A and B are shown apart, each in its own frame.
Chain A
Amino acid sequence: MSEGIGASVKRKEDRKFLTGKGRYTDDINRPGQVHAHFLRSDVAHANIKSINTKAASAAAGVVAVYTGEDIDVGGPICGWVVPNRDGSATHEPPHPLLAKGKVRFVGDAVAVVIAESLQQAKSASELVEVEYEELPAVVDLETASAGAEIHEGMAENRYFDWELGDEEATDKALKSASRVVKLTVRNNRLVPNPMEPRAALAEYDDLNDSYTLYTTSQSPHLTRLVLAAFMFQIPESKIRVVAPDVGGGFGAKIYVYVEEAVCTWASKKIKRPIKWTADRTQAFLTDAHGRDHINNVQLALDSNNKIIGLRVDTLANLGGYLSAFAVAVPTYLHGTLLSGLYDIPAIYTNVKGYATTTTPVDAYRGAGRPEATYLLERVIDQAAREVGMDQAEFRRLNFIPKDAFPYQTAVALQYDTGDYEPALDKAMEMIDYKNFESRRSEASKRGKYRGIGVSSYIEACGIAPSAVAGALGGRVGGWESASVRVDPTGTITVTTGAHSHGQGHATTFAQIVTEKLGVPNSSVELVHGDSDRSPFGMGTYGSRSLAVGGVAISKALDKVIEKSKKIAAHLMEASADDVEFKEGKFTVSGTDKETAFGEVALAAYVPHNYPLETLEPGLEETAFYDPMNFTYPAGTHIAEVEVDPTTGVVEIVDWAACDDFGNLINPMIVEGQVHGGIAQGIGQALLENAHYDENGQLLTASYMDYCMPRADDLPSFKVECTNTPCTHNDLGVKGCGEAGAIASPPALINAIINALSPLGVSDMSMPATPETVWRAIQNAQARAAE
Chain B
Amino acid sequence: MYSTKIVKAENSSAAVQAIGSSKEGKILAGGMTLIPTLKQRLANPDCLIDISGCGLEGVEDKGSSVRIGAMTKHAAVAESSLVAKAIPALADLAGGIGDRQVRNRGTLGGSVANNDPAACYPSAVMALDGTVHTNKRDISADDFFKGMFETALEEDEVIEAVSFKKPEKACYMKFPNPASRYAMVGVFVAKFSDGVRVAVTGAGEEGVFRHSDLESALSSNFSEEAVSGVEVSSDGLMSDIHASADYRANLIGEMTKRAVSS
Contact = CB atoms under 8 A, between A and B. Distances in A.
Chain B associates with chain A = yes
Interface of A: 119, 122-123, 646-648, 687, 691, 699-700, 703-708, 769-771, 774-775
Contact of B250 (A122, A704, A774): A774
A493 to B, nearest CB: 41
Contacts of B180: 703-705
A165 to B, nearest CB: 38
A271 to B, nearest CB: 29
Interface in B16-53: 41
Given A647-B254, A687-B178, A703-B179, A771 B241 contact: no
B192 interface: no
A23 B251 CA distance: 46
19 contacts: A122-B41, A123-B2, A646-B250, A647-B250, A647-B254, A648-B247, A687-B178, A687-B179, A691-B241, A700-B241, A703-B180, A704-B180, A704-B182, A705-B180, A705-B241, A707-B178, A770-B178, A771-B242, A771-B247
A700 B242 CA distance: 10
B231 to A, nearest CB: 15
A699 B41 contact: no
A705 to B, nearest CB: 5
A535 B153 CA distance: 67
Contacts of A708: 179
B179 A646 contact: no
A705 B247 contact: no
A123 B41 CA distance: 10
B213 to A, nearest CB: 19
Given A119-B1, A691-B241, A706-B179, 15 more contacts: A119-B3, A122-B41, A646-B254, A647-B251, A687-B178, A687-B179, A703-B180, A705-B179, A705-B180, A705-B242, A707-B178, A770-B178, A771-B244, A774-B247, A775-B247
B243 interface: yes
B222 interface: no
A700 to B, nearest CB: 7
A61 to B, nearest CB: 13
B175 A771 contact: no
B183 to A, nearest CB: 13
Nearest to B40: A281
A119 B3 CA distance: 9
Contacts of A704: 179-180, 182
A534 to B, nearest CB: 39
A699 B179 contact: no
Nearest to A691: B241
Interface of B: 1-3, 41, 175, 178-180, 182, 241-244, 247, 250-251, 254
Nearest to A705: B179
A687 B247 CA distance: 17
A699 B240 CA distance: 10
A703 B251 CA distance: 23
Nearest to B250: A774
A647 to B, nearest CB: 6
Contacts of B251: 647
Q: Which of A119, A646, A708 has the most chain B CB atoms closer than 10 A to its own CB?
A: A646
A699 B178 contact: no
A707 B179 contact: yes
Given A122-B41, A647-B251, A771 B243 contact: yes
A122 B2 CA distance: 9
Given A647-B254, A704-B180, A699 B241 contact: yes
Nearest to B1: A119
Contacts of B41: 122
Contacts of B2: 123
Nearest to B178: A707
A670 to B, nearest CB: 30
A94 to B, nearest CB: 33
A503 to B, nearest CB: 28
Contacts of B247: 648, 770-771, 774-775
A623 B89 CA distance: 66
Contacts of A707: 178-179
Nearest to A688: B179
A226 B223 CA distance: 68
Q: Which of B3, B244, B250 has the most chain A CB atoms closer than 10 A to its own CB?
A: B250
A119 B175 CA distance: 39
Contacts of A775: 247
A705 B240 CA distance: 10
Nearest to B185: A647
Q: Which of B179, B241, B244 has the most chain A CB atoms closer than 10 A to its own CB?
A: B179
Contacts of A703: 179-180
Name the 5 nearest CB pairs between A and B, nearest first. A707-B179, A704-B180, A771-B247, A707-B178, A646-B254
Given A700-B241, A774-B247, A769 B178 contact: yes
A37 to B, nearest CB: 12
A706 B1 CA distance: 23
B257 to A, nearest CB: 8
A686 to B, nearest CB: 8
Contacts of A647: 175, 250-251, 254
Nearest to B255: A647
Nearest to A689: B241
A273 B2 CA distance: 25
A99 B180 CA distance: 33
Contacts of B242: 705, 769, 771
A99 to B, nearest CB: 22
A705 B247 CA distance: 17
A372 B251 CA distance: 36
Contacts of A122: 41
Contacts of A770: 175, 178, 243, 247
A576 B104 CA distance: 69
A647 B254 CA distance: 7
A646 B258 CA distance: 11
A107 to B, nearest CB: 15
Nearest to B179: A707
A704 B1 CA distance: 19
A405 to B, nearest CB: 43
Nearest to A122: B41
A707 B242 CA distance: 10
Contacts of A774: 247, 250
A771 B250 CA distance: 10
Q: Which of B175, B244, B247 has the most chain A CB atoms closer than 10 A to its own CB?
A: B247
A775 B241 CA distance: 15
A771 B242 CA distance: 8
A775 B243 CA distance: 11
Contacts of A769: 178, 242
A759 B101 CA distance: 43
B178 to A, nearest CB: 5
A700 B247 CA distance: 20
A687 B176 CA distance: 13
Contacts of B250: 646-647, 774
A646 B250 CA distance: 8
A123 B1 CA distance: 9
A687 to B, nearest CB: 6
Nearest to A774: B247
Q: Which of A123, A647, A699 has the most chain B CB atoms closer than 10 A to its own CB?
A: A647
Nearest to A704: B180
Contacts of A771: 242-244, 247
Nearest to A647: B254
B167 to A, nearest CB: 25
Nearest to B175: A647
Contacts of B175: 647, 770
Contacts of B182: 704
A706 B179 CA distance: 6
Contacts of A123: 2
Contacts of B243: 770-771
A564 to B, nearest CB: 54
Contacts of A706: 179
